[in-house]
Structure 1
Amino acid sequence: MSPTTTQTTATTRITVGELAVRFLEQCGVRAAFGVISIHNMPILDAFHVRQKIRFVSARGEAGACNMADSYARVSGTLGVCVTSTGTGCGNAAGAMVEAITAGTPMLHLTGQIESPFLDRDLGYIHEHPAQLAMLKAVGKDAFRIRNPETALATLREAVRLAQTPPCGPVSIEIPIDVQKMMLDLPADISPVAMAPVQPNLAAVDLLAERLAQAKRPLLWLGGGARGATEAVARFVKLGFAVVTSVQGRGIVAEDHPQTLGSYNLQKPAEQFYETVDAMLAVGTRLRSNETLNYKLKLPTRRFRIDANTLVENRGYETELFVHGDATLTLNALADRLEGRMSIDPQLTADVQAARQAAAALVDSTLGAYVKLKNTIGEVAGQNIWWVRDITLSNSMWGNRAPVLNHPRAGVHALGGGIGQGLAMGVGVAVANAEHQLGRKTLSLCGDGGFMLNVGELACAAQEKADVLFIVMNDSRYGVIKNIQDDIYGSRHAYVELHTPNFAQFCASLQVPHFKVSDPSNTADTLREALAIKGPAVLEIDMDAWGPFAVKFAGPPKKKD
């Protein structure tokens, strides 16, 4: 019998902390991430005693939250993060912003000080008087459990809300005395059944009538369509061309002849859009950095499907909007279009030509680094999880290469914050292991971002996370320096970084380290690094490799 459980003749008595853990088990959660503290020990003790959910001890709350985020993105299940109260909880705020930007379903459990002292601004140790307001600001919503009687209802509602489109992180703060309180184990602790958003079939009929006349139709797929691979395949079979946002990569395998992949804003892609007579955007916000600040010339006739009603006419106006789940709506639409389309036989060849031209344009900016881009694709293959931090290499090529063949294979810092790729790599590797997904995790990081949360490399070592960190080391914030060259007269301020000897640092953690100073050694070194089972670091010496052929100075914008 567990220390947190007392058996009686009629009922099982458990703590609120154990109730939370049992509920997460019912939600299908296999791993949770966090940092232990005096304000969450009843919850973590239940994880430890029950041994049904793997708990990963991050080195900081920001890293824990990023791990839970990336775990959810790859596994397709609920992410769970557990933090302390006050400053510990506040440490997770930036990672919460990333999760809500990415639309990640996540539950954040945090502590609070003892109930009698709450909301009184007494200067009680670990108190954050406005913690709940802060959590509401950085997430989708936030709740407080005030007593055992309302604990299950609050847990259910938080998870329901987190998993309701548009998905996002939801927080629950539980005062430490409430976590310890006892209650009878409820007979049913299952989560609320979630039903996908049913489309209005009359609207689907109308959309079908308009699309049926298209000769050169295009699907633009975003992250909201990642669960709709089979439905999307029906449109590919009909002859539709495809392009994706960075978040939608791999919904259609990126080596398919009918897809542009995520080469979505290069000039050849824009020229191709001019030949398209109908574009259907599904599960995407058509974000600023993928549309040249909404000035990218998209096809004139635009239609949209989304589970979030607020998306209608945001960024770009659309001729018709259908509110609904991507899979249900696309399948209903395909039912109405199959046998009716007459696609231009030249469309696929034009897609391939635009894709090749766009890829060549990107390659022309990379200089020696085209070798790294191509070698990763050739040596690592497609059976990978491709995690990226915000770094020059990701912005210039990692968001579009290597080729991905799985709708959840691409994980990146969508909100634009640096330093999240290391922890995200750990979360992805844990998801891969716990859900037996059978892929290798690669995480592309800059040296500046890597150092921001470098303590999580110790977490990776402790957890034996099977991830290869590719660290692009130029000993500076490269993109900021380029911006200073571009608009600040090359006044270089605060961008040069003192970085460690990564070989010695990795050795201190017993993490294998590899370094490539000569591009010709890339393939052999990469093969050796990929063979490691567990965490490893592959350092690219950018000072030795030299500069990119073109300077990247922030997200591309269309010139007026």
Structure 2
Amino acid sequence: MSPSTQRITVGELAARFLEQCGVRAAFGVISIHNMPILDAFHTRQKIRFVSARGEAGACNMADAYARVSGTLGVCVTSTGTGCGNAAGAMVEAITAGTPLLHLTGQIESPFLDRDLGYIHEHPAQLAMLKSVGKDAFRIRNPETALATLREAVRLAQTPPCGPVSIEIPIDVQKMKLDLPADLSPLAVPPVQPNLAAVDQLAERLLSAKRPLLWLGGGARGASAAAQRLVKMGWAVVSSVQGRGIVPEDHPASLGSYNLQKPAEEFYETVDALLAVGTRLRSNETLNYKLKLPATRYRIDANALAHNRGYTSELFVHGDAEITLNALADRLEGRMQIDPKLAADVKRARAEAASLVDGTLGQYVKLKNTLAEVVGKNLWWVRDITLSNSMWGNRAPVLDHPRAGVHALGGGIGQGLAMGVGVAVADAEHQLGRRTVSLCGDGGFMLNVGELACAAQEKANVVFLVMNDQRYGVIKNIQDDIYGSRHAYVELHTPDFAQLCASLQVPHFKLADPATTRDTLQKALAHGNGPVVVEVDMNAWGPFAVKFAGPPKKKEEA
């Protein structure tokens, strides 16, 4: 060894490598099984570590951070039970296609895989992690640590993106190695489309008079390319995950009003649908019964997407941005699009929005006032709650491809932690938008400890807590198909004003719709930490229409 060679621990190697990956913040819970990694974070002071109150929240924070920043999310947990706590959030991250690295500890190597009942051991931890992510690895010695880190990050960032875990036994984290000369991550080149296939797609689309672009989350990097097609006269609609790729106030946009009856009637007039980076998921297609245009094409970086959910006449395997730009190059100046298409889109959008508003009752005031007070310069975070299902997935208008962050997998209780992750991403990357997180009271309580994390981190987020003291959707389902037998849905919730006061978090109670504007303006005026706005739904009254789960075709109801 040269006298000038620096020796570092495997824990420090992980920290230094993440710095080279452009990571600015990581989330987790400190434990005896990850201290070498977190000690390196603390000593080097180049990665902000956010101390969550639980591993599930930490993983949700890292997920949301990655979605908004467009960079790698990082979560650090303990081994055994601590690692297991992150499993549900890992499922959310893989559902959303989030590039995320999960670093977890493991017990000392000599006792691994021996079924000794060693404290903190989970005998099948690696298998569990493989089941909730894209893959999982174990670092067994310092010599293979860098290669494993590189491959895990490469895999997490390779479409379809997702979480990848690495478990590092605590003795291995402490072991030393020579500081590598090169700590750079592996390149992840975008998927290049077959240009002959793009030529073929272009030739088929040239005859289209009323083309429609359906954008999903996989197209978030293709905003400019998608807008080239819209500029030619194409109409556009998005999945909930694809909101804002084309600004939703564009006159050619249906927004994410993708399954309302006026939208379905509009689809019948479309002669070519191009779906890009979307799985056409069940809850956005009436369980795959939504009548989409008969002529369908598809672009996706995941080769397995072809003919999933809906068949397509032609599939192009490729990166959304590269493929759409190549397609636009071949179509610009050559299409003869029906000049009535734009007016028809506008009418369908207005009719769909009016139908949604008609279901909301007094809550339409909350929806509209929020849009007016906050404007479009926001990160719109949502938990799975009644209000999100009824209006939050479609309003307010979003104008940024990463502005919408929601619990895509359908699990409740994730919106609070996601709001923290988004606010941290906004601060660390100086993005300049305001974070608003829509939560139900039941979901909020599931991870309520993360409100303390938000306060400690001064996370700049407004939590809009819809408090009806029950699981509202479940109660509606019980009314719908269980003879109104209400079981296990009523919730004992805290006095949120006292809870917030104990954490030194500002709290506003919104009990009268007439005070909506004033209350929201006061809440948004706070700019140095979290704020809770509690909407007293029992005082506001019910929605005009009951929401009892994802809509289905009548013959399936």
The residue type paired with residue 429 of structure 2 is: H
What is the CA-CA distance between 1:444 and the residue it aligns to? 0.0
- 1:446 aligned to 2:440? yes
Instruction: Name the CA distance, whole Å, in 2 between partners of 1:368 and 1:481.
Output: 20
SS at match of 2:477: helix
The residue type paired with residue 554 of structure 1 is: G
The residue type paired with residue 169 of structure 1 is: P
State the TM-score, normalized to the length of structure 2. Answer: 0.99
Q: Where in structure 2 are the equivalents of 1:98-113 lying within 5 Å?
A: 98-113=92-107
Q: Where in structure 2 are the equivalents of 1:74-473 lying within 5 Å?
A: 74-473=68-467
Match of 1:4 in 2: none
SS at match of 1:56: strand
What is the CA-CA distance between 1:10 and the residue it aligns to? 2.3
The residue type paired with residue 556 of structure 1 is: P
Instruction: Name the CA distance, whole Å, in 2 between partners of 1:411 and 1:297.
Output: 27
Instruction: Name the CA distance, whole Å, in 2 between partners of 1:76 and 1:310.
Output: 24
Match of 1:41 in 2: 35
What is the CA-CA distance between 1:9 and the residue it aligns to? 2.4
Instruction: Name the CA distance, whole Å, in 1 between partners of 2:451 and 2:526.
Output: 15
What is the CA-CA distance between 1:8 and the residue it aligns to? 7.0
What is the CA-CA distance between 1:30 and the residue it aligns to? 0.3
SS at match of 1:495: coil
Instruction: Name the CA distance, whole Å, in 1 between partners of 2:370 and 2:6.
Output: 54
Instruction: Name the CA distance, whole Å, in 2 between partners of 1:157 and 1:263.
Output: 39
Instruction: Name the CA distance, whole Å, in 2 between partners of 1:462 and 1:339.
Output: 55
- 1:60 aligned to 2:54? yes
The residue type paired with residue 95 of structure 1 is: A
Instruction: Name the CA distance, whole Å, in 1 between partners of 2:271 and 2:124.
Output: 52
Taking only aligned residues, the RMSD between alpha carbons, in angstroms, comes to: 0.7
SS at match of 1:367: coil
Instruction: Name the CA distance, whole Å, in 1 between partners of 2:531 and 2:521.
Output: 12
Match of 2:554 in 1: 559
Match of 1:539 in 2: 534
Deviations 1:182-218 (A, max 9, x none): 0000110100011000000000000000001100000
Deviations 1:93-143 (A, max 9, x none): 000000000000000000000000000010000000000000000011000
Instruction: Name the CA distance, whole Å, in 1 between partners of 2:423 and 2:4.
Output: 43
What is the CA-CA distance between 1:339 and the residue it aligns to? 1.0
- 1:72 aligned to 2:66? yes
1:480 to 464, 474, 481: 474
SS at match of 1:18: helix
Instruction: Name the CA distance, whole Å, in 2 between partners of 1:448 and 1:8.
Output: 60
Deviations 1:39-79 (A, max 9, x none): 00000000000000000000000000000000000000000
Instruction: Name the CA distance, whole Å, in 2 between partners of 1:166 and 1:13.
Output: 37
Q: Where in structure 2 are the equivalents of 1:499-538 lying within 5 Å?
A: 499-533=493-527, 534-538=529-533
The residue type paired with residue 41 of structure 1 is: M
The residue type paired with residue 178 of structure 1 is: V
Moved >3 Å (runs of 4+):
none
Instruction: Name the CA distance, whole Å, in 1 between partners of 2:385 and 2:223.
Output: 29
Instruction: Name the CA distance, whole Å, in 2 between partners of 1:436 and 1:49.
Output: 24
SS at match of 2:362: helix
SS at match of 2:464: strand
What is the CA-CA distance between 1:276 and the residue it aligns to? 0.2
Unaligned runs of 5+ residues in structure 2 are: none
What is the CA-CA distance between 1:559 and the residue it aligns to? 1.7
Instruction: Name the CA distance, whole Å, in 2 between partners of 1:11 and 1:339.
Output: 61
Instruction: Name the CA distance, whole Å, in 2 between partners of 1:330 and 1:105.
Output: 22
What is the CA-CA distance between 1:313 and the residue it aligns to? 0.2
The residue type paired with residue 150 of structure 1 is: T
SS at match of 1:342: coil
The residue type paired with residue 280 of structure 2 is: L
Instruction: Name the CA distance, whole Å, in 2 between partners of 1:237 and 1:392.
Output: 36
Percent identity among equivalent residues? 86
Instruction: Name the CA distance, whole Å, in 2 between partners of 1:127 and 1:286.
Output: 40
The residue type paired with residue 270 of structure 1 is: E
The residue type paired with residue 463 of structure 2 is: F
Instruction: Name the CA distance, whole Å, in 1 between partners of 2:398 and 2:4.
Output: 54
Instruction: Name the CA distance, whole Å, in 1 between partners of 2:380 and 2:89.
Output: 19
State the TM-score, normalized to the length of structure 1. Answer: 0.99
Count of residues in correspondence between the two structures: 554
Instruction: Name the CA distance, whole Å, in 1 between partners of 2:486 and 2:291.
Output: 35
Instruction: Name the CA distance, whole Å, in 2 between partners of 1:135 and 1:458.
Output: 28
Deviations 1:447-480 (A, max 9, x none): 0000000000000000000000000000000000
The residue type paired with residue 542 of structure 1 is: M
The residue type paired with residue 524 of structure 1 is: D
